[in-house]
A and B are shown apart, each in its own frame.
Chain A
Amino acid sequence: MTPNLESALQTDTVFRTDNLDIYYGSFKAVRDVTMEIPKNAITAFIGPSGCGKSTVIRCFNRLNDLIKSFHIDGKIFYKGQDLYASDVDPVEVRRQIGMVFQKPNPFPKSIYDNIAFGPRLLGYKGDMDELVERSIKSAALWDDVKDKLKSLGTDLSGGQQQRLCIARAIAVQPDVILMDEPCAALDPISTLKVEDLLQELKENYTIVIVTHNMQQASRSSDYTAFFNVQANEKGQRTGYIVEYDRTEVIFQSPKHKATQEYVSGRFG
């Protein structure tokens, strides 16, 4: 949608959406999302509450399928494949596109079993100990937990739990990691740790992150999409993309007044 982006994106696009409208029943939650998400980069979705950023990100791994009234118009392509084609298995989609949620949600199992859960589902035949260690190390959690892999994942602190969830997502070796406000429930120090981690992870993964924290988007993302919300005459609030560009453009010289006002903290 922005000319200077397109040339850069053409070669390595992970997601491409085409006039995506998202509905819950007859309620249109998000409209007209047309965007491309580049490989091995961090793309941030920002915008006021209720603008549909989380709704869009949950379409990328078909997690919205769990909601009965949900359906879409338009297309989402993942590496050229239509994600919502009738022969696509959502379970297979979620194995390649991992997700980290707003509230840390480790299973009430040991730290080890939290990590091993995904690989076991996939029938992983290799050295599980090694995979668990590698995943925890890539989530920068190894020094915190190496002596207590058998203790409960739910006994860790909030920041550690969230890194455990990231390690758990990494363990199934996905292509993409979707993060839905991963730092919303964390203190500033844990937040910085997760942000540092993002920079390391983007070497190997494509990351899409929803955030309410403007500093976080400007500090850690390469591309930023600004979503806004519009109410129709019936009072239904529908989200849409105002502007999508390189992060420094969005934060320093946005083309739209609404973007300018939002990133400078004047509304939202």
Chain B
Amino acid sequence: MTSQDFSLSSGRSLKRSQMSFKTLFSNVMTGIAFACAIIALIPLVALLYYLLINGFARLGPQLFTQLPPPPYQPTSPQFNTGGFGNAFIGTLMTVGIASAISIPFGVFASIFLSEFARDTKLADSINFFTNVLSGVPSIVMGVFAYGAIVLTTKSYSAMAAGVALAVLMLPTIVRTATEALESVPKELRQAAFGLGATNYQTILGVVLPAAIPGIITGVMLGVARAAGETAPVIFTALFNNFWNLDPWKPTATLSALVFNFAGTPYKNWQQLAWSAALVLVALVLIANILSRWITQRKR
């Protein structure tokens, strides 16, 4: 093609033609993609709407300070009394125990994986088993904790639920923390070694601080997942209608309360279940927002 051919074709209009096939096709595809995005959001929005409508009515400070009430008829003057303070505390307690177990184990395991065993067969196999562990149904974790702790201590307990949730959180924490540690540039490690830092001084002084935002994100995701799990807690922590702070005694949790109360015919219990579900979702939301906020602030 010579340059003259170009000068001839330059006379064509540069305006977009609305009716041409490629413009129409492009617009239709954009429309379909937009519609699919909206449809995907519907379940989430509907869920939040339902939770708010049904749970918001009972929301108030007494939810967190009072015990679950006995069943009342809607006509009873006491219909709107009672709360789930014990279950709220119980959820904090079981998740707290789970975090106290899984965070140190998970972070140290990921330090080992990324700093000492990177690209070895051992690391590969540990990663493989971590992935397997993350795919194990949560009820199996519950059975494990039931067999290992409930049967040996002869009591349902927050401790047993904590262990089940810890096993559940572990893969999430190990995977995200390992990723965060491995993404620390090797130049930073060399700089620390070049200054005469030992292996552990390099890891604690440079690598770990640089990876902290990523590690916190992983921990928050693990916590958020553990807080909402029901299957592993219903036959490890069981339930408790009263206040309990002893980790070796049966303990109420929010998820178990939703499970127990939602299916009853009592209207005031059903309402408490809605409110507990709303609080649970709020907890998960807060954990996610916190982790995002920490990650972004550090960058």
Chain A 103-121 residues near chain B, CB threshold 8 A: 103, 105-109, 117-118, 121
Interface contact B185-A105, CB-CB below 8 Å: yes
**Is the CB of A165 closer than 8 A to any CB of chain B?**
yes
Interface contact B195-A108, CB-CB below 8 Å: no
Binds A, one of B197-205, B229-237, B272-280: B197-205
Interface size on A (CB < 8 Å)? 26
Interface contact B209-A109, CB-CB below 8 Å: yes
Taking CB atoms, residues of chain A closer than 8 Å to B189 are 66
Q: How far is the CA of A121 from the CA of B190 in the complex (A)?
A: 15
Interface contact B206-A118, CB-CB below 8 Å: no
Interface contact A117-B190, CB-CB below 8 Å: no
A107 and B188 in contact (CB under 8 A), knowing A117-B205, A121-B205?
yes
Contact with A along B178-189 (1 / 0, CB 8 A): 000000010111
**Is the CB of A127 closer than 8 A to any CB of chain B?**
no
Other-chain contact of B209, A66, A108, A118 (Cβ < 8 Å): A108
Best-surrounded residue of B193, B194, B196, B210 (most CB of chain A within 10 A)? B194
Which residue on chain A has the smallest CB distance to residue B197?
A121
Taking CB atoms, residues of chain A closer than 8 Å to B28 are none
**Is the CB of A101 closer than 8 A to any CB of chain B?**
yes
Nearest Cβ on chain A to B195's Cβ, whole angstroms: 4
A169 and B188 in contact (CB under 8 A), knowing A107-B206, A121-B201, A121-B205?
no
Other-chain contact of A94, B194, B206, B210 (Cβ < 8 Å): B194
**Is the CB of A16 closer than 8 A to any CB of chain B?**
no
Which residue on chain B has the smallest CB distance to residue A99?
B194
Taking CB atoms, residues of chain B closer than 8 Å to A172 are 195-196
Taking CB atoms, residues of chain A closer than 8 Å to B192 are 107, 117
**Is the CB of B191 closer than 8 A to any CB of chain A?**
yes
Other-chain contact of A122, B188, B196, B210 (Cβ < 8 Å): B196
Best-surrounded residue of A61, A101, A107 (most CB of chain B within 10 A)? A107
A residues lining the B interface (CB < 8 Å): 61, 63, 66, 91-96, 98-99, 101, 103, 105-109, 117-118, 121-122, 165, 168-169, 172
Given A91-B196, A94-B194, A117-B206, 17 other A-B contacts at CB below 8 A? A61-B194, A63-B190, A66-B189, A92-B196, A94-B193, A94-B196, A98-B194, A98-B195, A107-B188, A107-B191, A107-B206, A108-B188, A118-B195, A121-B196, A121-B201, A122-B196, A169-B195
